[in-house]
Amino acid sequence: MSFMKAMLAAAACCLALSAHAQTLVTTGSLVVVPANGDVVHANDQASIILAIEEQDQDKAAAASRVNQKMNDGAALVKKADPQAVLKTQGYYTYAVYPEAAPLPPGSVAKPRVPAGWRVGQYLQVTTTNLAALPKTVAAAQGVLSLNRLHFGLAPATIGKLDEQRIAAAYKNLNERVAAIAAAMGRNVIEAVIDSIDFEGSGRYAQRPNLAAARAMRADAGAHAGKQVAEPSFEAGETRLNMGLVAKIRFK
């Protein structure tokens, strides 16, 4: 008999808690809801870094060869892709020292004298002509080396995708608000947007597709002056994300 009383008491307690939960007032509640939307687009821009490096005991001779080959390489790129944007960067000159044997205890090291010089320079090429990219790179590799290659989206393309990213984020917001309203036992039409923050007034977070990036390094003089076969590239795609935070008030 005592067991039945205990069971009845437990059931009554559960009913009381359930009734109390159903009496939670949600009128006028303010709910902060994060949402986001993704847009995937095929990459339409390539950024490549070409390089040249020379070594010589004569610093001037090494620099002269670098200057000449960089001029030749830039001319080949312009001929293959007249629309490409070129930017030279990272000119460097380093002294090369011979290996020094360990000094006996108490001896004084003599001033080091360079055995030669390393001189190099980089050329950045940005282009949206992806169809001609293999031909352009192959032409440049006749003189320069391909140091790095990255595919992405042109600024104009990113701008055009703004509307799609905003729409995707807003759609996700509506879906999340509907789910929250159902969980609260409210009708979604009773939810009113109090405010929306689209990632700090339009700033976007770009998550590049790592598979679209390629990093390559090679001997700068390995193919100098030689015919190079065209490489094969896959541009891949980039995913852009738009996030927002909304304040939703229930009537």
> Among the listed ranges 11-20, 136-145, 175-184, 196-205, which one has the minimum average pLDDT value?
11-20
What residues contact 238, with CB distance under 8 A and at least 6 apart? Answer: 40, 41, 43, 151, 152, 153, 206, 207, 208, 209, 212
Higher pLDDT, 195 or 110: 195
- Residue 234 burial (CB count, 10 A): 10
What residues contact 209, with CB distance under 8 A and at least 6 apart? Answer: 43, 236, 237, 238, 239
> Among the listed ranges 80-89, 144-153, 177-186, 195-204, which one has the minimum average pLDDT value?
195-204
Q: What is the mean predicted confidence (pLDDT) over 188-195?
A: 87
Of all helices (H) and strands (E), which one includes residue 138?
A: helix 133-140
- Check residue 77 and give its pLDDT: 96
- Check residue 117 and give its pLDDT: 94
Q: Looking at the predicted structure, is the pLDDT value of residue 15 above 80?
A: no
- Check residue 111 and give its pLDDT: 79
Ranges 1-10, 142-151, 213-222, most confident: 142-151
Q: Angle between the 133-140 and 59-80 helix axes, to the nearest 10 degrees?
A: 160
Q: What is the mean predicted confidence (pLDDT) over 93-114?
A: 80
List the beta bridge partners of residue 240. 39, 206
- Check residue 102 and give its pLDDT: 77
Q: Looking at the predicted structure, is the pLDDT value of residue 200 above 80?
A: no
pTM higher than 0.85, yes or no?
no
Q: What is the pLDDT of residues 128-171, one digit of tens each?
A: 999 999 999 999 999 999 999 999 999 999 989 988 999 999 99
- Check residue 221 and give its pLDDT: 45
Q: With cut-offs at 50, 70 and 90, classify the pLDDT of residue 90.
A: very high
